[in-house]
Structure 1
Amino acid sequence: GCTKEACSFRDNASAFADFHAQRVGISMDDVAKQAEFSSQHNFDYPLLADTDGAVAKSYGVKRAIGLLKVKRTTFVINQDRTIRAVISSEFNMNAHVDQALAALAN
């Protein structure tokens, strides 16, 4: 899940660049774990650590219970910090990139 989704954002770098869009990944993993993950998969975009879940909670994607700590969600955010699109899919990892690019095109 996470690997396929993150690699899809990496593999579509030029499509996001066409829209002058900055890709950023965020999870509740610590910085060391993210650095290792990023290095293993040659990511060309930053991964941010939300170890206490404050960001996830503020965006309404933190789960109260369960093995998965957050809902798999992509936010397309304008430069003025307004949310342009919210993409949620636990199973279709390609939906995140496809729908984010569609939102940028509109």
Structure 2
Amino acid sequence: MAEKTIGVGDVAPDFTLPAQTGEQVTLADYRGDKVVVLYFYPKDDTRGCTAEACAFRDSYEEFAEAGAQVIGISSDSIASHEKFANKYNLPFVLVADERGEVRKRYGVPATLGILPGRVTYVIDRTGVVRHTFTSMVNIGKHIEGALEIVRNLAHEQASA
């Protein structure tokens, strides 16, 4: 059962999960330093997920220049993530939520009740969710929407 769906204005639930490198990634480690673009996706090396990962890859430099870290998350294993990241030269972190616990904490919905959903969150430097986008098919909007918010947050910080 999914918990409350995390939305704009909520504090992003913290987590520590293994990345494709085997290193542990903790969301709270980015607080005060980077905006985090956290995107949940259904499965490594499937058509839609590959398109989304490659779109994040192709925009990665723009995210990095605006002070953001991209993190992909699915229930695939560390080995699956490593193979996926290497195959498509993904420059960002993929974390393994093998039991789906973080997905549940964020309240990411399943599509048709069975397929893990596709949701992107932009989390500001204080750990607050500033943007969410849910769509299984409109992959480009995940990247465009997140990049726009990240740039706005960078601009806000620069003028603060």
Q: Same fold (TM over 0.5)?
A: yes
Alignment pair present for 1:57 and 2:90:
no
AA of the residue aligned to 1:39: N
How do 1:52-91 and structure 2 match up within 5 A? 52-63=99-110, 65-66=113-114, 68=115, 70-91=116-137
Task: Specify the structure having the higher radius of gyration (Cα).
Answer: 2
Counterpart of 1:43 in 2: which secondary structure?
coil
AA of the residue aligned to 1:83: V
More strand by share: 2
Cα displacement (A) at 1:19: 1.0
**CA RMSD for the aligned pairs?**
1.3
Separation in 1, partners of 2:79, 2:145: 30
Cα displacement (A) at 1:105: 2.6
Q: Which structure 1 segments of 5+ residues have no match?
A: none
Higher RCO (C-alpha under 8 Å, 6+ residues apart):
2
- Is the Cα–Cα contact under 8 Å of residues 53 and 62 in structure 1 kept in the other structure? no
Cα displacement (A) at 1:18: 2.2
Separation in 1, partners of 2:83, 2:109: 24
Q: How many residues align?
A: 104
How do 1:1-106 and structure 2 match up within 5 A? 1-63=48-110, 65-66=113-114, 68=115, 70-106=116-152
Separation in 2, partners of 1:62, 1:101: 23
* Runs of 4+ deviating beyond 4 Å: none
Separation in 2, partners of 1:104, 1:63: 26
Separation in 1, partners of 2:135, 2:81: 22
Counterpart of 1:12 in 2: which secondary structure?
helix
Separation in 1, partners of 2:65, 2:82: 27
Separation in 1, partners of 2:67, 2:150: 10
More helix by share: 1
Deviations for 1:12-62, whole angstroms, at most 9, x for unmatched residues?
012102211001111010111111011100111110000000000000115
Cα displacement (A) at 1:63: 2.7
Deviations for 1:70-91, whole angstroms, at most 9, x for unmatched residues?
2100110112111010011111
Counterpart of 2:55 in 1: which secondary structure?
helix
Moved more, 15-24 or 50-59: 15-24
